Amino acid sequence: MSTTALKPADIKVFSDAAMAFFGHTTDKRAAVKTAYLMDRRDAVVWSDFQGMIELGGRYRGSVAFSAPRGLLSHVLLLIGEGDYSDASHRDIVGEIANQMSGYARRHFGQTMDISPPRILTKPGDLTDVAPGAVPFVIPLMWERYEANLVVRMTSV
Protein backbone atom coordinates (compact mmCIF):
# COMPACT_ATOMS: atom_id res chain seq x y z
CA MET A 1 0.00 0.00 0.00
CA SER A 2 1.44 3.39 -0.94
CA THR A 3 1.13 6.38 1.33
CA THR A 4 0.56 10.00 0.46
CA ALA A 5 2.76 12.49 2.26
CA LEU A 6 0.94 14.95 4.46
CA LYS A 7 1.80 18.48 3.34
CA PRO A 8 1.77 21.70 5.38
CA ALA A 9 -1.15 22.91 3.24
CA ASP A 10 -3.13 19.84 4.34
CA ILE A 11 -2.86 21.04 7.95
CA LYS A 12 -3.20 24.76 7.15
CA VAL A 13 -6.63 24.26 5.60
CA PHE A 14 -8.08 23.89 9.10
CA SER A 15 -6.56 27.07 10.51
CA ASP A 16 -7.76 28.87 7.37
CA ALA A 17 -11.29 27.64 8.11
CA ALA A 18 -11.20 28.86 11.72
CA MET A 19 -9.74 32.21 10.68
CA ALA A 20 -12.43 32.61 8.02
CA PHE A 21 -15.12 31.91 10.61
CA PHE A 22 -13.91 34.74 12.84
CA GLY A 23 -13.36 37.13 9.94
CA HIS A 24 -16.79 36.56 8.40
CA THR A 25 -18.79 36.19 11.60
CA THR A 26 -17.28 38.97 13.71
CA ASP A 27 -15.38 41.14 11.21
CA LYS A 28 -12.37 40.66 13.50
CA ARG A 29 -9.58 38.46 12.22
CA ALA A 30 -7.89 35.74 14.21
CA ALA A 31 -4.13 35.25 14.15
CA VAL A 32 -2.34 31.93 13.94
CA LYS A 33 0.50 31.43 16.38
CA THR A 34 3.34 28.98 15.85
CA ALA A 35 2.07 25.43 15.37
CA TYR A 36 3.81 22.59 17.13
CA LEU A 37 3.71 18.82 17.50
CA MET A 38 1.97 17.66 20.65
CA ASP A 39 4.52 15.17 21.85
CA ARG A 40 2.97 14.73 25.29
CA ARG A 41 -0.49 13.40 26.06
CA ASP A 42 -0.84 15.85 28.94
CA ALA A 43 -0.16 19.01 26.92
CA VAL A 44 -2.65 21.73 27.80
CA VAL A 45 -4.76 22.35 24.71
CA TRP A 46 -8.17 21.50 26.13
CA SER A 47 -10.49 24.36 27.07
CA ASP A 48 -14.13 24.91 28.06
CA PHE A 49 -15.78 23.85 24.77
CA GLN A 50 -14.63 21.52 21.98
CA GLY A 51 -15.98 20.61 18.56
CA MET A 52 -14.51 17.82 16.44
CA ILE A 53 -14.80 16.31 12.99
CA GLU A 54 -13.43 12.92 11.94
CA LEU A 55 -11.87 12.38 8.52
CA GLY A 56 -11.62 9.28 6.37
CA GLY A 57 -10.45 8.40 2.89
CA ARG A 58 -6.96 9.13 1.57
CA TYR A 59 -6.24 10.68 4.95
CA ARG A 60 -7.62 9.46 8.24
CA GLY A 61 -7.87 11.38 11.46
CA SER A 62 -9.66 14.06 13.40
CA VAL A 63 -9.60 17.80 13.90
CA ALA A 64 -10.76 19.39 17.15
CA PHE A 65 -11.35 23.06 17.93
CA SER A 66 -11.11 24.03 21.59
CA ALA A 67 -12.03 27.46 22.95
CA PRO A 68 -12.60 29.14 26.32
CA ARG A 69 -16.04 30.32 27.38
CA GLY A 70 -14.95 33.98 27.23
CA LEU A 71 -14.02 33.78 23.55
CA LEU A 72 -17.32 32.15 22.64
CA SER A 73 -19.32 34.60 24.78
CA HIS A 74 -17.58 37.48 22.99
CA VAL A 75 -18.55 35.96 19.61
CA LEU A 76 -22.16 35.59 20.79
CA LEU A 77 -22.16 39.25 21.88
CA LEU A 78 -20.79 40.45 18.52
CA ILE A 79 -23.37 38.52 16.51
CA GLY A 80 -26.18 39.96 18.63
CA GLU A 81 -27.09 36.74 20.41
CA GLY A 82 -28.62 37.26 23.85
CA ASP A 83 -28.50 33.62 24.94
CA TYR A 84 -25.24 32.82 26.75
CA SER A 85 -26.15 29.29 27.75
CA ASP A 86 -23.81 26.32 27.39
CA ALA A 87 -25.95 25.24 24.41
CA SER A 88 -25.21 28.53 22.61
CA HIS A 89 -21.50 28.13 23.30
CA ARG A 90 -21.61 24.57 21.95
CA ASP A 91 -23.40 25.87 18.85
CA ILE A 92 -20.49 28.22 18.11
CA VAL A 93 -17.82 25.47 18.37
CA GLY A 94 -20.10 23.29 16.24
CA GLU A 95 -20.25 26.05 13.61
CA ILE A 96 -16.47 26.32 13.56
CA ALA A 97 -16.15 22.53 13.22
CA ASN A 98 -18.72 22.66 10.42
CA GLN A 99 -16.69 25.34 8.64
CA MET A 100 -13.62 23.09 8.93
CA SER A 101 -15.64 20.33 7.26
CA GLY A 102 -16.43 22.54 4.29
CA TYR A 103 -12.83 23.63 3.85
CA ALA A 104 -11.63 20.02 4.18
CA ARG A 105 -14.10 18.87 1.52
CA ARG A 106 -12.90 21.56 -0.90
CA HIS A 107 -9.21 20.86 -0.18
CA PHE A 108 -9.20 17.06 -0.06
CA GLY A 109 -12.01 16.41 -2.54
CA GLN A 110 -15.55 15.13 -2.51
CA THR A 111 -14.44 11.56 -1.82
CA MET A 112 -13.18 12.40 1.66
CA ASP A 113 -15.44 11.04 4.40
CA ILE A 114 -16.16 13.74 6.98
CA SER A 115 -18.27 13.10 10.05
CA PRO A 116 -20.85 15.59 11.23
CA PRO A 117 -19.36 17.87 13.90
CA ARG A 118 -19.40 16.41 17.41
CA ILE A 119 -19.26 18.38 20.63
CA LEU A 120 -16.79 16.87 23.09
CA THR A 121 -17.13 17.20 26.83
CA LYS A 122 -13.80 15.81 28.02
CA PRO A 123 -10.42 14.89 26.51
CA GLY A 124 -11.25 11.19 26.74
CA ASP A 125 -13.98 11.74 24.13
CA LEU A 126 -11.30 12.03 21.43
CA THR A 127 -11.32 8.89 19.33
CA ASP A 128 -8.07 7.57 17.95
CA VAL A 129 -8.99 7.26 14.27
CA ALA A 130 -5.37 7.92 13.27
CA PRO A 131 -3.23 5.56 15.37
CA GLY A 132 0.41 6.60 15.35
CA ALA A 133 -0.28 10.14 14.08
CA VAL A 134 1.29 12.81 16.24
CA PRO A 135 -1.18 15.68 16.68
CA PHE A 136 -0.36 19.15 15.41
CA VAL A 137 -1.52 21.93 17.70
CA ILE A 138 -2.33 25.23 16.03
CA PRO A 139 -2.89 27.99 18.59
CA LEU A 140 -5.14 30.83 17.44
CA MET A 141 -5.47 34.27 18.99
CA TRP A 142 -8.71 36.18 18.62
CA GLU A 143 -9.07 39.43 20.50
CA ARG A 144 -7.35 38.57 23.80
CA TYR A 145 -8.33 34.90 23.78
CA GLU A 146 -6.41 31.80 22.78
CA ALA A 147 -8.07 28.79 21.17
CA ASN A 148 -6.48 25.64 19.79
CA LEU A 149 -6.92 23.45 16.77
CA VAL A 150 -5.66 19.91 17.24
CA VAL A 151 -5.11 18.20 13.89
CA ARG A 152 -4.40 14.50 14.07
CA MET A 153 -4.10 13.02 10.58
CA THR A 154 -2.23 10.28 8.82
CA SER A 155 -2.16 9.27 5.18
CA VAL A 156 -3.26 5.80 4.14
Give pLDDT, residue 41.
59
User: What is the pLDDT tens value at each position of the chain, 156 positions in all?
Assistant: 344 567 888 889 999 999 999 999 999 999 999 988 887 655 567 889 999 999 988 888 889 999 999 999 999 999 999 999 999 999 999 999 999 999 999 998 888 899 999 998 765 555 555 566 778 899 999 999 999 998 888 887
Residue 120: the pLDDT is: 85
Alpha-carbon gap, residue 145 to 148, rounded angstroms: 10
Superfamily per CATH, domain 8-155: CheC-like (3.40.1550.10)
Give the Cα separation of 90 and 87 in Å (integer): 5
Find all residues with CB under 8 Å of 65, minimum gap 6, and list them: 18, 50, 51, 52, 93, 96, 97, 100, 147, 148, 149
pLDDT at position 127:
57
